[in-house]
Chain A
Amino acid sequence: MKSQLVEKAKTEHREEQNVSGIDIDNNQKQGEKSSNKSAFVFGVLYVLTIVLVFLVIFEGFYR
């Protein structure tokens, strides 16, 4: 009886670990995805700004 209870507790603990393991993986993946997304948006804004920066610079030569 005692050994059954111990076995049951071990199984539950393993299941909990698995569940939390899946959660961590999911969180990590979601975090990476949102980080990649924000880095991508930053990249788009960077390119747009740098184009405008060079337009302002070139405009300076034709004043």
Chain B
Amino acid sequence: MKKYLPLVAVVVFVAALFYAQTTNKMDAELVQGYYRQMSPGAVSFESINDKVAKAIGADGKVMAYLGVSTNIGYGGPMLVGSVFFADGAVQDVVILEHKETPSYIDKITKAGYFRQYTKKQIDDALVLDYDIDGVSGATLSTRAITKSVQDVAHIVAAKEFKVTPKKSNNGVQVGFKEIAVAALFVLSVFMPRIKGLAKFRLLLLGFSMIILGFWLNRPLSMGHIGALFLGYFPKPSENLIWYIVITGALLPALFTGKNLYCTFVCPFCSLQEATHLISKVNLPIGKYIKWLRIGKDILLFIVLFFAFLYLNPSIASYDPFGTIFGLNGSSYSWYLLFVILIASFFYRRFWCVAFCPVGTFLDKVAGIGRNVRGKVQMLTSKGAKGAVKNEEPIS
């Protein structure tokens, strides 16, 4: 029975995904409802396409252009509405639906992100870090909003104003950030293989805590893993670090059969190692370790199940990485972080041992890697024996 559990889990995930896909479609009536919400003075709406329209006033003239667009933020899809004056200037940008942590949205609003749109025109490039400034610590959310505004603006520009929108010069950005993150992962692969390098593990973890943690706030999270399964891939030109982190964690686990990310790169592991170094205490957990593994499997199942059911990679994500490294989180997240850090003074890597869904997932990937390698080795050794047997009569 036990060996069929992974299969049952996969079937449940697929069923949840199928259910979500069939029930979460945005219908035309809903879009019309959003149009009315964004332009309450309009008498009617004349469609330009299924998500962009002209708002017609009481005098029969176009009073605004408006539309909705969905792009992937930090927590999942964000539905953003954009309204433009009849002359093509941006009138309003509204977040209609989102799965982000509310404190991120507050941060964006307080930082004056939305105000900068009042100076923009429909044919501007509208690209983050080109003619739109992002908000530090909420890059993914602001990128999703900017892209949504651009989607609607450029459709209106091309179809109604017959102008070609300006283009940004931003290609794939490989800067110091990307190189630093890639270096962490490359070192994590070579460190256990080169004699004498393994002793610098804590140093690498320390760098990771600074770079991947406090500086960039991009540790591997269930958001990454859920997005991978749901196909929410960001553009490499806009978010190359996402690809470096996910491939840097998954590929070595798959090919070496070892979970190198948790041991050498995870910034939260680094934080717990730091608390352990301070206390130098590691109390025994007792004979309950196997139950902890089952508990972690159940938690991983819960997180993935709800991600599939709600088509939202991080809806049930509870990891405290964003709270500590982005200094952003709800009150419960802060309490959780506090308890984990206190516990990790007495029980080494308390979070990793008992709760981390990311580590559990990577362990499973590494397990698959080991199984595949074992089978390949068995087949090749059988093949070699067969070849030897076949050769015997000849000799």
A, B assembled together: yes
Nearest opposing residue in chain A for B98, CB measure: A63
Q: Is the CB–CB distance between A45 and B339 below 8 Å?
A: yes
Q: Which of A36, A45, A46, A63 contacts B99 (CB 8 A)?
A: A63
Q: Is the CB–CB distance between A63 and B286 below 8 Å?
A: no
Q: Is the CB–CB distance between A56 and B284 below 8 Å?
A: no
Q: Which of B29-37, B60-68, B143-151, B342-350 contacts A (4 or more CB under 8 A)?
A: B342-350
Q: Is the CB–CB distance between A42 and B283 below 8 Å?
A: yes
Q: Which of B284, B333, B343 contacts A39 (CB 8 A)?
A: B284
In the bound complex, what is the Cα–Cα distance between A60 and B350 (angstroms)? 23
- Does any Cβ of B come within 8 Å of A55's Cβ? yes
Q: Is the CB–CB distance between A46 and B354 below 8 Å?
A: yes
For chain A residues 4-63, which have a beta carbon within 8 Å of chain B?
Answer: 35-36, 38-39, 41-43, 45-46, 48-50, 52-53, 55-57, 59-61, 63
Q: Is the CB–CB distance between A56 and B332 below 8 Å?
A: yes
Question: Interface range on chain A: under 10, 10 to 19, 20 to 34, or 35 or more?
Answer: 20 to 34
In the bound complex, what is the Cα–Cα distance between A60 and B75 (angstroms)? 10
Q: Is the CB–CB distance between A52 and B332 below 8 Å?
A: yes
Q: Is the CB–CB distance between B318 and A56 below 8 Å?
A: yes
Question: Interface range on chain B: under 10, 10 to 19, 20 to 34, or 35 or more?
Answer: 35 or more
In the bound complex, what is the Cα–Cα distance between A61 and B303 (angstroms)? 12
Q: Is the CB–CB distance between B283 and A38 below 8 Å?
A: yes
Q: Which of A38, A48, A55, A61 contacts B332 (CB 8 A)?
A: A55
Q: Which of A36, A48, A56, A61 contacts B286 (CB 8 A)?
A: A36
Q: Report, nearest first, the 3 A-B pairs whose CB atoms are least far apart.
A: A39-B286, A38-B283, A52-B336
Q: Which of A35, A45, A59, A61 contacts B350 (CB 8 A)?
A: A45
Supply 21 A–B pairs (Cβ within 8 Å), ascending by A: A36-B286, A38-B285, A38-B346, A39-B284, A39-B288, A42-B283, A43-B288, A46-B354, A49-B336, A52-B332, A55-B332, A56-B333, A57-B318, A59-B330, A59-B332, A60-B317, A60-B318, A61-B316, A63-B75, A63-B99, A63-B102
Q: Which of B100, B347, B350 contacts A63 (CB 8 A)?
A: B100
Q: Is the CB–CB distance between B346 and A49 below 8 Å?
A: no
Known A52-B332, A55-B332; 4 more pairs at CB < 8 Å? A38-B285, A42-B343, A45-B347, A56-B336
In the bound complex, what is the Cα–Cα distance between A39 and B292 (angstroms)? 12
Q: Which of A49, A55, A61 contacts B355 (CB 8 A)?
A: A49
Q: Is the CB–CB distance between B283 and A48 below 8 Å?
A: no
Hey, which chain B residues are within 8 Å of A60, CB to CB?
314-318
Nearest opposing residue in chain B for A46, CB measure: B354
For chain B residues 89-137, which have a beta carbon within 8 Å of chain A?
Answer: 98-102
Q: Is the CB–CB distance between A42 and B347 below 8 Å?
A: yes
